[in-house]
Amino acid sequence: NAGVMQNPRHLVRRRGQEARLRCSPMKGHSHVYWYRQLPEEGLKFMVYLQKENIIDESGMPKERFSAEFPKEGPSILRIQQVVRGDSAAYFCASSPSIGGVGGTNEKLFFGSGTQLSVL
Amino acid sequence: GDSVTQMEGPVTLSEEAFLTINCTYTATGYPSLFWYVQYPGEGLQLLLKATKADDKGSNKGFEATYRKETTSFHLEKGSVQVSDSAVYFCALSDTGDDKIIFGKGTRLHILP
């Protein structure tokens, strides 16, 4: 029973390049969350998606960042024209149902993260 | 907006010492409260949770009590082990909200 899979584990990009981070949720999970962890800071919520829908993107920067969760395949977090300040660990989490966090059976399952380094 | 504040680390203790990691929160509704743990090189794992005032969450010898009057959810363990070395995150999910808001994390080092 594979957990949440993120790849790559480490990604190095030069300024101005594009970064694509992938997340495959746990089997049977249809809800995906992306978080960013900057050095010396906690995890900051970025976006919450269900299959083919963005539910809450209140934590996403207005420019250069986008996320999708297609009907088939993994969720993708895309960062265009990366800058040094984008260097961080990006974590994906999945949950099995709506209200998966506030309900009585909630659990958020995290992947091991992608460490993005921008040179 | 909602927020979580937890004590800064690192916290260094000897094996078998008593552990407290303080956590306070601000929320507009009636949140569920969580502690997550992150071991080196891994993602976060749910350690324990409490969904209403006066609930006590417990797991692996850790426990935390939801205190509405002091808006706190302090993590405690009576006797820590070297294997407890990790980063601990306090978190909340507010009423009707599907996302979790995390504190900055507290790094714990246990010395043998």
B100 in contact with chain A, both atoms CB, cutoff 8 A: yes
Sign of the Cα torsion A44, A106, A49, A32 reads positive
For A32-80, what is each residue's pLDDT tens digit? 999 999 877 788 999 999 988 999 999 999 999 999 999 999 999 999 9
Considering only CB atoms, which chain B residues are within 8 Å of A108? Answer: 46, 100
Residue B92, helix vs strand vs coil: strand
Tell me if B35 sits within 8 A of B51, measured CB to CB: no
For B2-11, what is each residue's pLDDT tens digit? 899 999 889 9
Å from B106 to nearest chain A CA? 9
Q: In this predicted structure, what is the pLDDT of residue A105?
A: 46
Q: CB under 8 Å to B47, separation ≥6 — which residues? A: B34, B35, B36, B37, B59, B60, B62, B75, B88
pLDDT at A101 over 80: no
CA distance A11 to B34: 30
Considering only CB atoms, which chain A residues are within 8 Å of B33? Answer: none
For B62-107, what is each residue's pLDDT tens digit? 999 999 999 999 999 999 999 999 999 999 988 777 788 999 999 9
Å from A42 to nearest chain B CA? 3
Mean pLDDT for all residues in chain B: 93
DSSP letter at A59? T
Chain A's closest residue to B39, CA to CA, is: A112
CA distance B65 to B13: 22
Q: In this predicted structure, what is the pLDDT of residue A108?
A: 84
Tell me if A73 sits within 8 A of A25, measured CB to CB: no
When CB atoms are compared, the residue of A43, A48, A106 closest to B102 is: A43
**Which residues numbered 14-33 in A keep a CB inside 8 Å of some CB on B?**
31, 33
